Structure 1
Amino acid sequence: MPMNTVHDVFAATAARTPQAEFLFTESVTARAYGIAAGALHWGEAAGEVARLRQAYEKAGWGHGHRVGLLLENRPAFLLHWLALNALGVSVVPINAEMRSAELIYLIGHSEIGLAVTLPERAADLRAAAEQAGVPFATMGADDAVPQAPKAAPRAGDAIGPQTECALLYTSGTTGRPKGCILSNDYFLAAGQWYAALDGVCSIRPDTERVITPLPLNHMNAMAFSTMVVLTAGGCLVQLDRFHPKSWLASARESRSTIVHYLGVMPAMLLSAAPSPADSDHAIRWGFGAGVDKKNHALFEERFAFPLVEAWAMTETGAGACIMANREPRRVGSSCFGRQPDFLDMKLVDEEGREVGADTPGELLVRARGDDPRRHFFSGYLKDEEATREAWADGWFHTGDLVRRDADGNLFFVDRKKNVIRRSGENISAVEVESVLNQHPAVKASAVAATPDEVRGDEVLACIVLREDMSNNNPGQLAASIVDYALAQLAYYKAPGYVAFVDALPLTPSQKIQRGQLRDLARALPGQPQCLDTRGMKKRQA
């Protein structure tokens, strides 16, 4: 049987293991969503997907249509996605945190004709569609399917690997989100790549239980954790979100063997008091990115499983995924592995010249062989210019600054757009944050540029203090934080302003919202909570 679609892969595994557990909803997620805890078996899921497929087909939905899914991380998201995929309908995941302006843009840009939604958001979606001027209907996950407003645009074409499977919007940390067109091939390649991992990250067919708190409207959960289960069998444990106090209990309850994480999660788990139960689990390894250097080894020692760092983007999928799945992993160094055999890559400076060992440069990637875009995204919807720009000179420009050592190990430095240029020196926001976060008074930090008449940019640090430090003298705390940075960084990298804030601007996936942070950094100087520490920054003799 040819595997041309995500549904094909699901159907094949369901036919092979109908009695095995496919989805497991542990008790915390069940309570959050008001659904039953426990397992949905592959055979049961296949029956429900077939029922939904028939209902959509009867209502006229087909190849070339797009349907929005605002269902958070509920099992219904996966069942509707699989049913729609079988018909050649592309799904557009909708972040439940989106509000009016964001919804108007997404609905108008994607031209979805239907959204399967939580009942409490249906009116918001319909109002946004009216503003966008798009013919539109909503339905609940268990409702009858409304009639399609027009015939399927590609009804006469065969559904296959290049059929659009999903339209995922970039997180929009800067500017308006772009719609990444992702084909069936993109998702199939992700599942195959993951299932074939070796070294620290082997996959046992029909055995692994993959737990993730990451949102299904992002590529990590849709294209990696979901697809490895569809491809290799086993069980997916999709949490509603990350709950640091109950996460380990959820992993035990669900008998999880592989976990997905983002950098903020290990830090939050480490902040709890150690317990003998920390290593009482069946977890073999974790797949993620961005663990703080100071936390990496501490976490692995305390929780008794490796956090394996990887690099990918929505645009690249597994077509350019790089992972530190083989020893030595360079724990605590932001190392994410070495160049894989299927990938061409180079690191370049601002003039496009390749940089040498241990010199940061922008990471450029392409698939090795005749098709440089193999398994990558198909392009940005309605933005050919941005697609051409991203693929300038036949390479995909990632916007990430990466360093490669003499042995070929790759180390993440920062997003290129997060670099602060002070008096001609390039400063990585992530590098400064990683030092500030080690200060005993700092709970979290975020660094951005603020304008400086003399130096162009100055370093501004937003600091969230630990609860037991919030009543201390702000001036003394700011001086202590800058002194700490000066002891570990070149003087020009230390904060010239320290702003004490209650919370950092974060995206729904808990990444720093760099666009909001830049706006904040421009507005903070001169405000009472923002202390000018520029006088402490002096070149050392």
Structure 2
Amino acid sequence: MGLIETLVEPRTSPDQGRAAHRTLPALLAARAARNGTAPLFSDRATTWTASDALAIAARRAGALAAQGVGRGDRVALLCGNRVEFMEIVLGCGWLGAVVVPINTASRGLQLEHILRNCGARLLVAEAHLVDVVHALDAQDLPLETIWLIGEPAADALKPAYITTAMPPADEPVTPAALTDGDPFAVLYTSGTSGLSKGVICPHAQFYWWGHYTARDLGVAAGDVLYTCLPLFHTNALNSFFQALIHDAELVADRRFSASGFFDALVETRATVTYVLGAMVPILLSRPVTASEREHRVRVALAPGVPGHFQQEFTARCGIALVDGYGSTETNCVISGAIDAQRPGHMGKLVAGFDARVVDEHDQPVPDGEAGELILRADTPFAFASGYLGMPEKTVEAWRNLWFHTGDRVVRDADGYYRFVDRLKDTIRRRGENVSSFEVEQVLLSHRSVETAAVFAVKSALAEDEVMATLVLRDGETLEPLDLIRYCEPRLPYFAVPRYLDFARDLPKTENGKIQKFKLRETGVTATTWDLDASGYRLKR
């Protein structure tokens, strides 16, 4: 009997609740033994059964081991939604290495920080993205080797590292002897007042994501889960675990297309899907099409959709929306099944977690009063373990043994939670977190800019827009579009400011701290420059 056949032999103790069964290798083996021939994952070009995924994990782990990757090593991954992405994820999880998926829009300072902070010696990247890595200052980065997915362009930059095609899968290796708390992935979430933080996500955290989220969505054997959200974020990555645990299939599309969304649901025979707050009003703004009713989807996970859009979307498209609350650091902590949904509310606290709404001293506030949401889990390793290489930030976020979300919420007397706004200085745009600090650093690097403040203003699509107010150096002038073109290669497209204002000075406290709340209150005025109105389109 070979290695793969041995791994799929039925276990004498099939209890998935035990710690040994919350690691990726154990979950893959259990699924293959239970329902190995049913599809598990597809990128719409290639489909894997559960048995395929098990073999791919073992053999890709062999190729990583041959490269010198060992248990605990980080492997960076710069790749969109395709089978190679999941191949690296599964191989790392099998080997006990830690995958570091990077937002494919990362550029410049942000990307350099991530590669330095995670310490990855190997990067796996789509060939068309690799130039952004070669353009970085390579002097003190730990990166040594890049595996390319696809062929590089003829005019690609000269490689700064050993660059080779991603090698084929190797001989299978036995899975690492892992526990619930072993790190599975490091996911970077944008800093709110500093650099991006690498969230250390243990194996069990993703098991519980798959368990709780799928429960509220009603995921069952034979379901087809469709996502066009990026796999390098928690939302889409945990949908793989929903499929894995519940004998369903995940179909991951390359990207969201408003014109093609419902057609994709029909073509993939999806029964469950995933949308973000801004996607629903975008879809509702389009003309009605036949495919809106020809699909099989019964429910969508839809965090952050404004309450007044929920009923309209369901009535028009026949898809029930399930709201909820979670973060990269936590889990599906506030939600509810379809019949427990209340428009405009995130839901109730999920059993297995604890929550408080507190003031600035961590003292609970009465129901009906806004305060910061703080959280903790009853089960070990259902939350992240901290921030990689940032002990001070970890202690700050988990102070008093509660995770501080930085979000202002209200808890109603009947236990429903309602989101109010963010305490942290962060911006949520196009489904992405934008660090104002990182945008400011790029703006300040322009020779004409003396001071810059970046903040959020509301858009018509229930999300934030990025606005910057700038003070130029004495004697300098700067055309707004020239500044946008300067930012474009240095920032993800979604972080490039839409609105620019130029001022002689910025409002400050007595100790010189910029009072961003005053800038937010002023917002967009008649003198504000608007990128959308300029006719210029950012490259993506």
Check whether TM > 0.5: yes
2:398 aligned to 387, 391, 395, which one?
391
What's the CA shift for 1:328? 3.8
Amino acid at match of 2:527: P
2:226 aligned to 182, 191, 211, which one?
211
8 Å Cα contact 2:58/2:94 also seen in 1:
no
Looking at structure 2, the residues matched to 350 and 340 of structure 1 have their Cα atoms a distance apart, in angstroms, of: 25
Alignment match, 2:52: 44
Pair 444,253 (structure 1): closer, same or farther in 2 beyond 3 Å: same
Q: Which segment drifts farther, 123-132 or 237-246?
A: 123-132
Q: Does 1:353 align with 2:353?
A: no
Amino acid at match of 2:181: Q
1:84 aligned to 92, 104, 110, which one?
92
Looking at structure 2, the residues matched to 16 and 291 of structure 1 have their Cα atoms a distance apart, in angstroms, of: 36
Looking at structure 1, the residues matched to 248 and 347 of structure 2 have their Cα atoms a distance apart, in angstroms, of: 26
Q: How does 1:279-318 map to 2 (within 5 A)?
A: 279-318=293-332
Pair 90,449 (structure 1): closer, same or farther in 2 beyond 3 Å: closer
8 Å Cα contact 1:450/1:522 also seen in 2:
no
Pair 67,338 (structure 1): closer, same or farther in 2 beyond 3 Å: same
Pair 374,138 (structure 1): closer, same or farther in 2 beyond 3 Å: closer
8 Å Cα contact 1:187/1:227 also seen in 2:
yes
Amino acid at match of 2:27: V
Alignment match, 1:266: 280
SS in 2 for 1:236: strand
What's the CA shift for 1:296? 1.1
Alignment match, 2:203: 184
Amino acid at match of 2:320: P
Alignment match, 1:242: 256
Q: Does 1:338 align with 2:338?
A: no
Alignment match, 1:406: 413
Looking at structure 2, the residues matched to 63 and 3 of structure 1 have their Cα atoms a distance apart, in angstroms, of: 19
What's the CA shift for 1:521? 5.7
Alignment match, 1:167: 186
What's the CA shift for 1:58? 2.7
Q: Which segment drifts farther, 269-278 or 259-268?
A: 269-278
Per-residue CA distance 1:129-178 (angstroms, 9 max, x = gap): 723331410012483559xxxxxxxxxx9432221111110034653110
Q: Does 1:327 align with 2:327?
A: no
8 Å Cα contact 1:107/1:132 also seen in 2:
no
Looking at structure 1, the residues matched to 70 and 231 of structure 2 have their Cα atoms a distance apart, in angstroms, of: 22
Unaligned runs of 5+ in 1: 27-36, 147-156, 421-428, 438-442, 452-500, 532-541
Pair 309,271 (structure 1): closer, same or farther in 2 beyond 3 Å: same
Amino acid at match of 2:227: T
Per-residue CA distance 1:87-119 (angstroms, 9 max, x = gap): 111000111111232221111111100011112
Pair 508,411 (structure 1): closer, same or farther in 2 beyond 3 Å: farther
SS in 2 for 1:353: coil
Looking at structure 2, the residues matched to 72 and 450 of structure 1 have their Cα atoms a distance apart, in angstroms, of: 29
Looking at structure 2, the residues matched to 275 and 72 of structure 1 have their Cα atoms a distance apart, in angstroms, of: 28
Looking at structure 1, the residues matched to 500 and 273 of structure 2 have their Cα atoms a distance apart, in angstroms, of: 30
Aligned residues: 431
Looking at structure 1, the residues matched to 324 and 48 of structure 2 have their Cα atoms a distance apart, in angstroms, of: 30
User: What do you get for the CA RMSD once the two structures are aligned?
Assistant: 3.6
Looking at structure 2, the residues matched to 448 and 38 of structure 1 have their Cα atoms a distance apart, in angstroms, of: 37
Looking at structure 2, the residues matched to 298 and 374 of structure 1 have their Cα atoms a distance apart, in angstroms, of: 38
8 Å Cα contact 2:278/2:463 also seen in 1:
no
What's the CA shift for 1:252? 0.6
Amino acid at match of 2:295: H
Alignment match, 2:145: 137
2:236 aligned to 214, 221, 231, which one?
221
Alignment match, 2:122: 114
Q: Does 1:528 align with 2:527?
A: yes
Alignment match, 1:193: 212
What's the CA shift for 1:515? 12
Amino acid at match of 1:98: S
Alignment match, 1:375: 382
Normalising by the residue count of structure 1, what TM-score does the alignment of the two structures yield?
Answer: 0.72
Amino acid at match of 2:207: L
SS in 2 for 1:317: coil
Looking at structure 1, the residues matched to 301 and 496 of structure 2 have their Cα atoms a distance apart, in angstroms, of: 20
Alignment match, 2:30: 12
Higher RCO, 1 or 2 (CA under 8 Å, sep at least 6)? 2
Q: How does 1:450-469 map to 2 (within 5 A)?
A: none
Looking at structure 2, the residues matched to 379 and 184 of structure 1 have their Cα atoms a distance apart, in angstroms, of: 14
8 Å Cα contact 1:126/1:138 also seen in 2:
no
Per-residue CA distance 1:41-79 (angstroms, 9 max, x = gap): 333333333322222223332101111111111111111
Unaligned runs of 5+ in 2: 1-10, 12-19, 151-164, 169-175, 428-454, 470-483, 502-515, 531-540
8 Å Cα contact 1:56/1:145 also seen in 2:
no
8 Å Cα contact 1:108/1:129 also seen in 2:
no
Pair 509,327 (structure 1): closer, same or farther in 2 beyond 3 Å: farther
Normalising by the residue count of structure 2, what TM-score does the alignment of the two structures yield?
Answer: 0.72
Amino acid at match of 2:231: L
8 Å Cα contact 2:108/2:132 also seen in 1:
yes
Pair 125,171 (structure 1): closer, same or farther in 2 beyond 3 Å: same
What's the CA shift for 1:516? 9.6
Alignment match, 1:489: none
Amino acid at match of 1:270: L
Alignment match, 1:454: none
8 Å Cα contact 2:499/2:529 also seen in 1:
no
Q: Does 1:202 align with 2:209?
A: no
Amino acid at match of 1:304: G
Amino acid at match of 2:182: T
SS in 1 for 2:201: strand
Alignment match, 1:459: none
2:424 aligned to 404, 417, 432, which one?
417
